[in-house]
Each structure stands twice: as C-alpha cells, then as structure tokens.
C-alpha cells in the first residue's frame, strides 16, 4: 500500500513528521534515484528510498492485545519477575513494550506494540483516552461517591483527578451473593429502600477514567474509604478486551482495531 513519504520516514523511526520534512526539503532523500521534492510524494511497494545514501526499509508495526494475568510486571525487562513481554511469542520481542502500566495484581486489557508514536498518543495526558475498569471494592459505593468521582478527587497529587464515572454498580454480601439486581442498582434513587437494611460487604462496578496516574483507581477508592479488592481493565479507547482471551492469552489486533485506537478520543469532560 502506498504511503506519504514523510509518514514513511517517520514510521521508520528517522524523526518526527516535521523533522523528516526538513530532510526532504534539503534534498537528502532519494526516491528510486531521484531527489524527492515534497513530503506528500507517495512511496509505493518496491520504491527504493535512500536518506543520505542509506536505504530506508519499511517498519512493520506489531500490535497485540493481552489479557494480563496477575503476578506479571507491565515492563519489557525485570530482574526478578516475569514480564508481560515474556508472555508474547513474536519475531522481535526486544522491540515490544506495553502501552502504559497495569499494577502487578491488576488483570485485563494491555496493549503491546513497537509503535512508539501510537503509544505516545494514547498515553499523552492531553488526549484523555478513556479506560474502563471493573472494580470490586470493600463496602458500599454510594450516590455521594458517584458524585465525588464525577467532580474529580484530591488523591494527594498536585492536581485533582479529572472527572471519573462510576457505573453498573452492584452490591454483594459476605457470601459473594448479589443482593441487588443490576437494574435496581442503576436506579440510584431507590438505593436504600431497595437494600432494605441488608448489609453490603462488597460493591462491584465499573469506573471510567481518562488519565493514567500511578495506582489511580486504587487511590481514588481509598480516598472514599473503599479499598480495592480486585481490578481488571476491560477497555482502552475504542479497544475492548476480547472475551475469548483467557488470562495470559493474547492475539494480534485487527486492522480495524488499530485504526479505531488511532481515533480514540475523550468522552468525559
């Protein structure tokens, strides 16, 4: 597939789009032996591209979705512990890195790639890419908590967190039995009436955040006095954890998933 010359050079890791445009304009790039004039020129399959006389080869990006199990570190290398990269059997594992981090005990969706530009976009604090987590916390998450999360919380950082959304709230007793149906839980006005005095041991819910601060979800729930007991990420931007993947399993992203991720945008404001 043809690609713009500036994009081709940037993807090959030779610089940012604006840097490689300067290379082109200063006559350092040859396309099939002829000096390239404009960044918009197309690089077709089989076009010979030279920068300062050196051949530039097409960079093949790889994208994997992993259902991260607990007990594994979100890093490329670690002295003592198994890393998420070690779970992936791929041609160039040394180039692969996780996009952001999940804590060692957190499970769920983790993207691994060698595409630094995409990772940078997804992690950029300016992009506010939505991440959805399933959370089990000790105690009863109340309507007041929903409002506090929606306002953003002071968790001891320089700035409050951005607004976060709590949804699909469900209550459980000590025996692990659900004590309210999801639909009743959704109608928050009737909460106390519907509970009828039953004591809530645990709340299972989803939280949507648009940042990636250190231990963010755990710190937010600690702030409202409800320690996290279990945490699992189920989506990031447009990318949703494939239900077919068991813990520790992974698969390559489809082309639609990759382009969806590239268009991942903010929702909570």
Q: The tokens of 152 are what?
A: 């953003």
The 8-47 site mask, x for binding ligand URA (CB under 6 A), equals ----------------------------------------
SS3 237: coil
d(CA 186, CA 180): 10
113 near ligand URA (CB under 6 A): no
Q: Which residues contact 78 (CB under 8 A, 6 or more apart)?
A: none
106 is a contact residue toward ligand URA (CB under 6 A) = yes
- In this chain, which of 41, 62, 78, 103 binds ligand URA, going by CB under 6 A? 103
211 near ligand URA, rule: CB under 6 A: no
Work out how close the CB of 261 gets to ligand URA at its nearest, in angstroms, rounded to a whole number. 18
Q: Which of 216, 232, 241, 261 binds ligand URA (CB under 6 A)?
A: 216
Residues 6+ apart with CB under 8 A from 49: 5, 8, 9, 29, 30, 31, 43, 55, 56
CB of 36 to ligand URA, least distance (A): 44
The structure tokens listed for 86 are 């070690």
The correct pick among 11, 68, 218, 226 for binding ligand URA (CB under 6 A) is: 218
Give strand ranges (E) for the chain. Answer: 3-4, 29-31, 34-35, 42-43, 49-51, 54-55, 63-68, 97-98, 107-113, 131-138, 165-172, 202-209, 228-236, 239-240, 250-252
Nearer to ligand URA, 15 or 70 (CB): 70
Nearest to 246 by CA among 139, 148, 108: 108
- The dihedrals phi and psi of 118, each to the nearest 5 degrees, come to -65, -45
Of the candidate spans 47-55, 216-224, 243-251, 252-260, the one that interacts with ligand URA by CB under 6 A turns out to be 216-224
Q: Which of 43, 137, 155, 231 contacts ligand URA by CB under 6 A? A: 231
Phi and psi angles of residue 221, each rounded to the nearest 5 degrees, phi first: -70, -35
Catalytic choice (95, 103, 145, 242): 103
Report the residue from 5, 102, 112, 236 that binds ligand URA according to the rule CB under 6 A.
102
Judged by beta carbon, residue 10 or residue 217, the one nearer ligand URA is: 217
Radius of gyration of the chain (CA): 23
Is 157 labeled as catalytic in the residue annotation?
A: no
Q: Compare residues 184 and 222 and give the one whose CB is closer to ligand URA.
A: 222
Nearer residue to ligand URA within complex by CB, 36 or 137: 137
Q: Name the minimum Å distance from CB 160 to ligand URA.
A: 16
206 binds ligand URA (CB under 6 A): no
Size of the chain, expressed as the number of residues it contains: 269
Exposure string (b/e) for 143-163, b if CB count within 10 Å is 16 or more?
eebbebbeebbebeeeeebbe
The binder of ligand URA chosen from 56, 109, 217, 236 (CB under 6 A): 217
Cβ distance to ligand URA smaller for residue 49 or 155: 155
Give the three-class secondary structure for 97: strand
Q: Which two tokens stand for residue 112?
A: 């691994």
Residue positions annotated with a catalytic role? 103
By CB under 6 A, name the binding residues for ligand URA.
102-103, 106, 215-218, 231
């Amino acid at each position: 597939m043809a690609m713009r010359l500036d994009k081709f050079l940037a993807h090959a890791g030779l610089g940012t789009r604006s840097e490689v445009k300067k290379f082109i304009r200063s006559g350092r790039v040859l396309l099939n032996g002829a000096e390239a004039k404009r960044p918009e020129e197309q690089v077709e399959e089989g076009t010979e591209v030279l920068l300062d006389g050196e051949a530039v080869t097409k960079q093949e990006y790889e994208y994997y979705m992993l259902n991260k199990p607990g007990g594994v570190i979100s890093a490329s290398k670690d002295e003592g512990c198994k890393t998420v990269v070690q779970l992936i059997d791929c041609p160039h594992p040394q180039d692969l890195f996780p996009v952001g981090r999940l804590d060692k005990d957190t499970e769920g969706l983790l993207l691994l790639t060698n595409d630094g530009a995409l990772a940078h976009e997804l992690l950029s604090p300016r992009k506010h890419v939505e991440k959805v987590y399933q959370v089990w916390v000790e105690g009863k998450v109340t309507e007041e908590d929903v409002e506090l999360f929606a306002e953003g919380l002071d968790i001891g950082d320089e700035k409050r967190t951005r607004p976060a959304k709590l949804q699909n709230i469900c209550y459980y007793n000590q025996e692990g039995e659900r004590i309210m149906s999801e639909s009743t839980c959704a109608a928050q006005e009737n909460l106390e009436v519907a509970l009828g005095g039953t004591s809530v041991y645990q709340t299972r819910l989803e939280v949507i955040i648009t940042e990636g601060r250190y231990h963010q979800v755990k710190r937010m729930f600690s702030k409202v006095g409800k320690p996290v007991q279990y945490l699992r990420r189920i989506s990031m931007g447009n990318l949703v954890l494939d239900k077919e993947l068991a813990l520790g399993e992974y698969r390559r992203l489809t082309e639609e998933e990759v382009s969806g991720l590239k268009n991942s945008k903010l929702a909570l404001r």
